[in-house]
Amino acid sequence: MSNRKWIGWILMIAVLVGFCAFQIHPPRKIGLNIPKGWPQPETNWFATNPVTEEGFQLGRKLFYDGRLSKDGNFPCAGCHQQFAAFSTFDHDLSHGFNNALTTRNAPVLQNLIWMPAFHWDGGVNHLEVQPLSPITSPGEMAESLPSVISKLKADPKYRTMFRSAFNSDSITSQRMLQALAQFMGSLISSQSKYDAVKAGKAQFSISEAAGYQVFLQHCNRCHTEPLFTNNSFQNTGLQPSSRLYDIGRARITSIPSDSFKFKVPSLRNSTVSAPYMHDGRFATLSQVLNHYRKGMVHPGVSVDSLIAAGLPITPQQQLDLFSFLYTLKDDTFLKNPRFGPPPAEKSRSQQQPASHNYH
């Protein structure tokens, strides 16, 4: 074999090895950090979908991308705003495509890996399939799944990101949903003042400490520490809306006694996630507490027995309870730039002053 041929072979092999090393660079596993002292999640969603830096970043881009909606105006982040713990700030119901309103209050997105079912009625059983609901709902993002996939396939940036997240060229709904799950599953709020107190790194004020006692006595059974929800479905004696007529959990189970039951929301970051209840009917925490003290109605089906008689809380106890609820606000989570828009989306949204996100 001539020298030239040898050089050719060596070069080819070198190029190949280099190319492979560059291309088959596996996504970097980052996993999820379970805060100290918290229960292990019962869900095992990331066994088949390990959280990687590339997958997280892809999920983050998708979360902030309006192209997942029919007219481009309604990214997931439109109704799930970080500063409101990923709920819709100051909106009882949220805005969707073609001036539609949703029929329920946008829930906060935090600590989702401890949540066995999504939606106020628990109809969705897995984090990966949750986004299908807002994407295809006519009053929300109003888009079809095949159309979303073809928009993603047409974008070279997405092709690169899917390849580096999943080590393969195919863009499928499964991969899009897995990437979104990686981003959403990473939204863990565990660094509030309450958490610092529990870790022995801070102290409650007198009022906060008194409020914590009120909480333990009256709220902890359903809003159970450390997640501040036990993920159960309860009827809290709200007068059913004659317009929305939402039967809650019974819509999923078809069990009459589940009528008007809704999922217990977490109290974490509740001071920034107003309005409250499944239909956002209460604008303030005072209204919520007034309801629990003396506003509950009994529409023929069982109101949770723990609260049915009304919570015996004095005005002073209520103030202390509010002080305590403020200790559940997690600024590290609410302002973490890693959970915010990716740099490219940020500059795009800055060019559009009339963004749908903040009306």
Name the site residues for other proteins (rule: CB under 8 A).
16, 19-20, 23, 45, 48-49, 119, 123-129, 132-133, 135-137, 145-146, 149, 172-174, 177-178, 181, 251-254
Shortest distance, position 245 Cβ to other proteins, whole Å: 16
| Residue with smaller CB distance to other proteins, 122 or 211 | 122
Tell me: cis bond preceding 342? Omega within 30 of 0 counts.
Answer: no
The DSSP annotation for 278-315 comes to TT--BSSHHHHHHIIIII----SSPPPTTTTT-----H
Shortest distance, position 131 Cβ to other proteins, whole Å: 9
Shortest distance, position 174 Cβ to other proteins, whole Å: 4
| Residue with smaller CB distance to other proteins, 16 or 206 | 16
DSSP class of residue 93? S
| Residue with smaller CB distance to other proteins, 119 or 218 | 119
Shortest distance, position 181 Cβ to other proteins, whole Å: 7
| Residue with smaller CB distance to other proteins, 167 or 207 | 167
In the block, tokens 């088949």 appear at: 48
With a CB cutoff of 8 Å and minimum separation 6, the contacts of 208 are: 193, 320, 323, 324, 326, 327
With a CB cutoff of 8 Å and minimum separation 6, the contacts of 192 are: 268, 269, 327, 328, 329, 330
**Token pair listed for 306:** 């723990």
Shortest distance, position 247 Cβ to other proteins, whole Å: 12
| Residue with smaller CB distance to other proteins, 45 or 262 | 45
Distance of alpha carbon 86 from alpha carbon 266, whole angstroms: 13
Shortest distance, position 69 Cβ to other proteins, whole Å: 15
Q: Is-contact 137 128, C-beta < 8 A? A: no
Distance of alpha carbon 82 from alpha carbon 66, whole angstroms: 16
| Residue with smaller CB distance to other proteins, 9 or 19 | 19
